[in-house]
Structure 1
Amino acid sequence: MRLLLIRHGQTPSNLGHFLDTSLPGPGLTDLGLRQAAALPGALAGEDIAALYASTLTRTQLTAAPLAAERAIEVRIRDGIRELSAGDLEMRADEEAIRQYLTTVFAWPAGDLARRLPGGEDGAEALARFDAVVAEAAEAEKHRTVALVSHGAAIRVWAAARARNVTVDFAARHGLDNTGVVVVEGSPDSGWTALSWAGTVVPAVTASGVADGGLAGRTLPGPETGPAPAPDQPTT
């Protein structure tokens, strides 16, 4: 099947770079509403069979114009909400953002037990996202499904589940508001990313490693260069 992983439109918290992950969360800015309104046109070439959104307000507002244009319901699922910031909720300082990023990108690198204080661990976060993907795959089989979710959740899930998305690639390639990551495959056979916000994702080599980096091991941080800019992960 084909999955369109769509980040929500711009929110006031995005403008302030806040780690804003709690329910119900903010609505969209005027720009965010325009971004949502542009989605149906941007996805005109996609034959979308089902549309999902998280339990946060911003994803549902983003999905609404697409649902109206396609005359399909929005299926609300908590499993694709943003990765919890825990005790860092609503902080916008560089230290908090780096701690958040380093923790969540440790998960696809194999450290699933790591967690932020007051937050979830990697096993919990990936399991809930996987459950929604599995539901969509069972219901729609080989068709196209759109999931309106959140920046960090999409990037971390793709790094953990798409065979050609390395941790380094996902950490260093942000996802702008209403940016789309396209993957194909199934929960049983695995996933391959076709595009990342319009950028072609490197192919998998014969050794199973994606061209352009070591698969699944590189983390953002002082040892590997700067973490992504603060506007990249903020929910």
Structure 2
Amino acid sequence: MRLLLIRHGQTPSNVAGLLDTAVPGPGLTELGTRQAAALPDRLAGESIDELYASPLLRTQQTAAPLAKRLGLPVAVRDGVREIEAGELAMRGDSGSINAYVSTVFAWARGDVEARIPGGESGVEALRRFDSVIDEIAATDRSCAAVVSHGAAIRLWTASRGINVRVDDVEAEPLRNTEIVVMEGSPDGGWRFMQRLAAG
């Protein structure tokens, strides 16, 4: 099947450069709202059967225009929420951001027992994201769109993409409403197909 992993639109915390991972989190900025409104046209060529979002407000607001255009409900799943920042939450200094990102990519390289201080381990983060992807794949639909978060999408792509180099994913941040396209299955593996630049 085909997975469209979509990062949410811009939020005030993105603008401020903060590690804001708590539920429900902030809504979209004016730019973020425009980014979300552009998604239906950007994805007009995709045959999307299902639409998912995390419990955070920003993903559901991003998914709303697409849901309206497609006539689909948005299935909210906790498993695709952002990786918890723990004690680093709401910090924006380079040390905190580097600690967060380096832990996430240590997980992608196999050190899944490492833990963000006061947050989750790689085992926990991957298990919950995998559970949603497995649920989606079990529906036997051809294409699903999942509105999630930058670190969560990058971690899952780097960890589960059979043709993906972790260094490449680490080197390239995922911008607001940028889309990672994956194809495959839990049994056969997932292949990275392309990244669709933000609109």
Partner Cα separation in structure 1 for residue 117 and residue 110 of structure 2: 19
Shift, 1:142, TM fit = 4.7
1:175/1:197 contact within 8 Å kept: no
Instruction: Report the equivalent of 1:20.
Output: 20
Shift of 1:101: 0.6
Does 1:185 pair with 2:177? no
| 1:82 alignment partner AA | E
Q: Is the 8 A contact 2:54 2:79 kept in 1?
A: yes
In the TM superposition, structure 1's runs of 4+ consecutive aligned residues that sit over 6 Å from their partners are none
What's 2:135 paired with? 135
Tell me, yes or no, if structure 1 residue 8 matches structure 2 residue 25. Answer: no
2:152 paired residue number:
153
TM-score of the aligned structures, taking structure 2 as reference length: 0.98
Partner in structure 2 of residue 195 of structure 1: 194
Alpha-carbon RMSD: 0.7
Unpaired runs of at least 5, structure 2: none
* C-alpha distance in structure 1 between counterparts of 2:18 and 2:186, whole Å: 33
Q: What letter corresponds to residue 168 of structure 2 in structure 1?
A: F
Cα distance in 1 between the residues matched to 2:196 and 2:111: 27
Query: CA shift at 1:82, angstroms?
Result: 0.3
Distance 1:166 1:81 in 2: 23
Quick one: which amino acid aligns to residue 177 of structure 2?
T
Higher helix share: 2
Q: Which has the larger radius of gyration?
A: 1
User: Hey, what's the Cα distance between the residues in 1 that align with 2:173 and 2:84?
Assistant: 18
Give the paired residue count: 197
SS in 1 for 2:108: coil
Question: Shift of residue 144 of structure 1?
Answer: 0.3
In the alignment, what sits opposite 1:163? 162
Three-state SS of the structure 2 residue aligned to 1:51 is: strand
TM-score (norm 1): 0.83
Please give the secondary structure, in 1, of the residue aligned with 2:192.
Answer: strand
- Please show how residues 77-88 of structure 1 align to structure 2 within 5 Å: 77-88=77-88
- Distance of aligned partners of 1:197 and 1:172 in 2 relative to their CA distance in 1, 3 Å threshold: farther
What residue is the counterpart of 1:74 in the other structure?
74
CA contact (8 A) 2:49 2:141 kept: no
| Contact in 2 for aligned 1:24/1:55 (Cα 8 Å) | yes
Corresponding residue SS for 1:107:
helix
CA contact (8 A) 2:82 2:148 kept: yes
C-alpha contact (below 8 Å) 1:5/1:180 kept by paired residues: yes
CA distance, structure 2, for counterparts of residue 21 and residue 152 of structure 1: 10
Q: Per-residue deviation at 1:166? A: 1.3
The structural deviation recorded for 1:173 is 1.2
